[in-house]
């Protein structure tokens, strides 16, 4: 019996691709094997967005190649962003790999693997034309059954100077509203209680389609077409957030009061070099506007330090912004040069030591802010989606409030009460830590 072992690296958008690969292979009669030593095919879906992710992908490939050395009959197949980025170079660098498939080859993976097995494969590297998934494709959810990702677009029309996504994933392609509603309904039938919408830029949804197709129209259709209790929005471009979206979120409690908005920086000079289409003052005004509609909103962002030309004054502006804006969750990154991006050749590159010092400093500032922010929940009773037994100890349950996204934010440790994974229960918050909350089930 043909069996496969699948490793998925990178972001949630890449994970959805892996779930499609899993579903397509399963539909074709392949059986998943948890132990890679027992699998007849070893498959890794790679990330190629930044150099550290590329290095992680290569390490995983080399690890799997050792199993292939032990059993030369195994197939080793590599898919995803790293293949799309480096293409034919990989054939020379990784001769132990039997087949490379780019990001657009998902729907053809079964045919390509069968060609490999039968000896009729004509090219070791497959880079098909641009592709957009739809709800008819089999998808095996790998997240806990009560939550899932809904990828509403592919590609991106933004041209940030540090980013390779458009060259890897192509221009924006939005899925039709009806197709997304159909997939959401299917996920709800499987038990999903939290659906997180993802894209490279969620606010760009529909810009490539004719007619009144935009994010708020999609959200209204999802609300009308199903009853999933929590809808969450990730990857909102700052200048794309409008009052129509904020009004809808204020009116609809099923859209959780949580917004993930990658700011990247707040210094006007840095933002301009990044080719981000807003200023620091725009961000201050945006946050004020969001909170005027959603006073209890949790705001998440990502920030980058060490961009070429960044000065100590720019870092001071970041510090001031964090102290004044009091964001709830922040992902921090040090800039890394990516071959092929415009910023690779920008002057005044920061040293690695400067980047690390600035990263540590800003992380310390945000830790103070986060600890202060969480205290506002103490004494409140909040709905919590139970994830199951805590990762810290079997004596506690663990879950998340509406203000905490899966995988990237903190959690709620539940010290008393019983519940099943996927239950949404009322929890009295009794303690706030730096990034996590503690409470007990009530009622």
pLDDT for 2-49, tens place per residue? 999 999 999 999 999 999 999 999 999 999 999 999 999 999 999 987
Beta strand ranges found along 152-254 (DSSP E): 153-154, 173-174, 194-198, 230-233
- By CB atoms closer than 10 A (0-12, 13-18, 19+), residue 193 is buried
Q: What is the pLDDT of residues 262-314, one digit of tens each?
A: 999 999 999 999 999 999 999 999 999 999 999 999 999 999 999 999 999 99
Q: Identify the band that residue 350 occupies on the pLDDT scale cut at 50, 70 and 90.
A: very high
Q: What is the pTM of this model?
A: 0.94
For residue range 185-224, what is the model confidence (pLDDT) as tens digits?
A: 999 999 999 999 999 999 999 999 988 889 999 999 999 9
Burial grade of 383 (CB within 10 A; 0-12, 13-18, 19 or more): middle
Tell me the C-alpha distance between 309 and 177, whole Å: 42
Report d(CA 198, CA 15) in Å as an integer: 11
DSSP label at 287? Answer: H
Would you say the C-alpha torsion 232, 235, 239, 240 has a positive or negative sign? negative
Q: Which residues contact 357 (CB under 8 A, 6 or more apart)?
A: none
- What gap in Å lies between CA 195 and CA 188, rounded to an integer? 9
pLDDT tens by residue, 140-165: 999 999 999 999 999 999 999 999 99
Residue 443 predicted with pLDDT over 80: no
């Amino acid at each position: 019996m043909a069996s496969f072992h699948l490793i998925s690296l990178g972001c949630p958008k890449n994970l959805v691709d892996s779930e499609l690969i899993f579903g397509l292979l399963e539909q074709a009669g392949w059986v998943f094997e948890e132990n890679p030593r027992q699998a007849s095919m070893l498959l890794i879906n790679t990330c190629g967005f930044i150099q550290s992710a590329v290095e992680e992908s290569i390490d995983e490939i080399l690890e799997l190649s050792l199993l292939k050395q032990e059993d030369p009959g195994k197939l080793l197949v590599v898919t995803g962003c790293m293949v799309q980025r480096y293409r034919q170079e990989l054939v020379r660098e990784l001769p132990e790999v039997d087949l490379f498939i780019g990001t657009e080859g998902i729907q053809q993976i079964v045919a390509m693997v069968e060609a490999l097995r039968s000896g009729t494969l004509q090219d070791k590297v497959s880079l098909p034309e641009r592709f957009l998934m739809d709800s008819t494709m089999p998808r095996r959810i790998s997240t806990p059954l009560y939550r899932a990702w809904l990828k509403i677009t592919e590609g991106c029309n933004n041209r940030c100077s540090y980013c390779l996504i458009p060259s890897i994933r192509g221009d924006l392609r939005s899925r039709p509203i009806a197709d997304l509603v159909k997939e959401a309904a299917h996920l709800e039938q499987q038990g999903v209680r939290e659906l997180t919408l993802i894209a490279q830029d969620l606010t760009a949804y529909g810009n490539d389609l004719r007619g009144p197709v935009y994010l708020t129209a999609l959200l209204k259709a999802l609300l009308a077409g199903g009853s999933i209790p929590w809808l969450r929005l990730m990857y909102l471009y700052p200048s794309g957030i409008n009052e129509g979206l904020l009004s809808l979120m204020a009116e609809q409690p099923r859209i959780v009061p949580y917004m993930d908005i990658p700011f990247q920086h707040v210094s006007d000079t840095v933002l301009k070099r990044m080719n981000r289409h807003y200023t620091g003052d725009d961000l201050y005004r945006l946050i004020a506007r969001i909170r005027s509609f959603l006073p209890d909103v949790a705001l998440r962002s990502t920030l980058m330090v060490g961009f070429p030309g960044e000065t100590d004054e720019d870092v001071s502006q970041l510090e001031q912004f964090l102290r004044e804006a009091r964001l709830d969750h922040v992902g921090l990154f040090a800039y890394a040069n990516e071959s092929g991006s415009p910023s690779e050749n920008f002057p005044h590159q920061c040293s690695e030591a400067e980047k690390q010092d600035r990263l540590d400093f800003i992380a310390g500032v945000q830790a103070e802010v986060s600890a202060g922010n969480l205290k506002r929940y103490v004494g409140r009773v909040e709905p919590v989606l139970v994830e199951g037994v805590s990762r810290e100890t079997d004596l506690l349950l663990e879950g998340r409030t509406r203000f905490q996204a899966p995988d990237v934010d903190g959690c709620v440790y539940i010290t008393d009460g019983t519940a099943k994974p996927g239950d949404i229960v009322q929890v009295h918050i009794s303690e706030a830590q730096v990034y996590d909350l503690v409470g007990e089930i009530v009622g």
